[in-house]
Each structure stands twice: as C-alpha cells, then as structure tokens.
Structure 1
C-alpha cells in the first residue's frame, strides 16, 4: 500500500481545507507541519520524514506543490506519484525542478483565474516536462465543488494505480 502525504502551502497549515477534503476520503493521509519554514527547511524535514520509504504519493498545494516536485528531483526512488495543486513553480526554485514522474504518474491541477501563481507559468512548466495540465474554472485556493471533485479524482487515480 502506498503512503499518502499532503504538503500544505506557504500561508496555510497542515490541517486546512484541502487536508480535510482528502482526509475524509483517505483516512491514512499524513500532513506534516511546515509552517514558518522556508523551502530549504521544508526539504530537510520532508527528506527526514520520507527516508527509507517507497511508493509515496505526494499531494502538494501551492508552495507544498513546489516542495513535492523538488523532493521528487532529489529522491525519485521514494515517490510513486505526484498531485500538484496550483504549484508555486513560477519562482527561481521552480526553475530548479529538473524532472517529474512520467505523465501517467503526475497530475497538475490549476485554476484559470489564479492570481497568486500565474496560469501561464504553470502551462509552461507542464509543457517543459510533457505532463498534462488539468485546468479548472477557479482561483488559487481551488475551493469550488468542481475543483474539489477534480482533486479527489486525481488523487484516487494515482493512489490506487499499480505503476
């Protein structure tokens, strides 16, 4: 069985709206607390937390999505799949993402009206790695009913898949 982690964003905490959405469907979900940490600190904590683990499915929201992608670059052998929600890949750190899993093992979901992470930057990011972008009519928080159903479906697909 895969292990499922949720990596929260920069301004949220480990038990926000997306955590509760996922926890209702996936009771085994783990959500480490990265509040107040920069990316280097988050990477160090995530590395320690996932050390000696395999088959991980990482769901990362915004800055947590950037963290999940960077962790994959460093330790791809640990990670089965990624679900990146409005990932903050529009930064210099986003440029340091050098690889992603094959397209069947990654889902990127982004709102067209996102004013925090520019939609066009995420489109370019996905093109760079040849991975599909799932676009929803929503803002950065991906709080609409449609976005939430899309998130649940994406996590279910990769979590239950046998890659």
Structure 2
C-alpha cells in the first residue's frame, strides 16, 4: 500500500506558503489544502479531506502541527508517521489528549529561538504524549526557515 503524504500549514500561513510550495514542487501527490477559520472549522475540513485515506504520513507546521496531533490522536490506525515543525501543542485544543499516548513514530523539530511557541514546554508535552518520539532542538526560530530546506525529507517521509 502506498503512503499518503499530507502537509498541514500553520495559522498565519496558506498552502502557498514557503513550506507548502516546497512540498508541492518536490512531492506533487502530497495533499496540501488551505485551512481557514477557527480550530473546529479547520479540523472539520481536515477530517473531510482525509476520510477514507490510510497509510498517512502527516507533516504539520505550528498550528498545523496541533491539527496533525489532534487528528492522529483520534485516528492513529490511519497514520504511519508524523513530522511536527514547531507544533503548537501548548494550546488548549490539545488538552483533551494530554492523558493519551501515541505509539507511531513522531519526529519533532523546534527552534530554540522560537518566540511564538515555547520549545521547552512543547518538548515536555511531546515526551508525555508520543511514546516513539525523535525530538530535535535546532538553532532557528519559529518558522524554521534555516532548518526546513536542509532536512532529509526523502528519509523523513518514508516508513522505516
């Protein structure tokens, strides 16, 4: 079964942002949607887009990382791996899942100079929530613009 690649952008971004354009160019079959509105509206659209799809590898950036984590908490059997980029796991929308644990591989990158999402708070939450976590602090800010283009995407988007 072929994996389904998904990218979920952040709150202030769009599918046409830097990361979305990169994935569109490098992985043309990747699902890259625009999400607008409040969290509930965004999640409703995400569930609708991913209904019936399995073997998901989800990349979530910032608010999109929060969306990816919440979706996966509810649909772990459909998700093979999650890659989170400075995920906003500290927001209240993740609270219902803080006592639950995911067993799929989760790879998380977070800039130590992030002044939007506290990287240390997120690490603490991630360590409790993701059993199979590979966590990376990087010398970057919230956008991860220095780090993102140099990540080994071919490796990251495969199932080991």
Same fold (TM over 0.5): yes
User: Match of 1:20?
Assistant: 21
State how 1:16-95 maps to structure 2 within 5 Å. 16-35=17-36, 37-95=37-95
Structure 1 residue 122: Cα displacement:
1.4
Measure the CA separation in 1 of the matches of 2:144 and 2:55: 26
Structure 1 residues 115-145: Cα deviation after superposition (integer angstroms, max 9, x where no partner): 000011111022213423111100000001x
The normalised TM-score by structure 2 is: 0.89
State how 1:144-163 maps to structure 2 within 5 Å. 144=146, 146-150=147-151, 153=152, 155-162=153-160
Match of 1:134 among 129, 133, 136: 136
Measure the CA separation in 2 of the matches of 1:10 and 1:21: 18
Measure the CA separation in 1 of the matches of 2:23 and 2:32: 10
Greater strand percent: which structure? 2
Which segments of 5 or more consecutive residues in structure 1 lack a partner in the other structure?
none
Greater helix percent: which structure? 1
Q: Secondary structure at the match of 1:90?
A: coil
**1:10 counterpart = 2:11:** yes
Q: Secondary structure at the match of 2:32?
A: coil
Measure the CA separation in 2 of the matches of 1:26 and 1:118: 30
Which segments of 5 or more consecutive residues in structure 2 lack a partner in the other structure?
none
Structure 1 residue 95: Cα displacement:
2.4
Q: Secondary structure at the match of 1:15?
A: coil
**Structure 2 contact 108–135 (Cα < 8 Å) conserved:** yes
Moved more, 134-143 or 72-81: 72-81
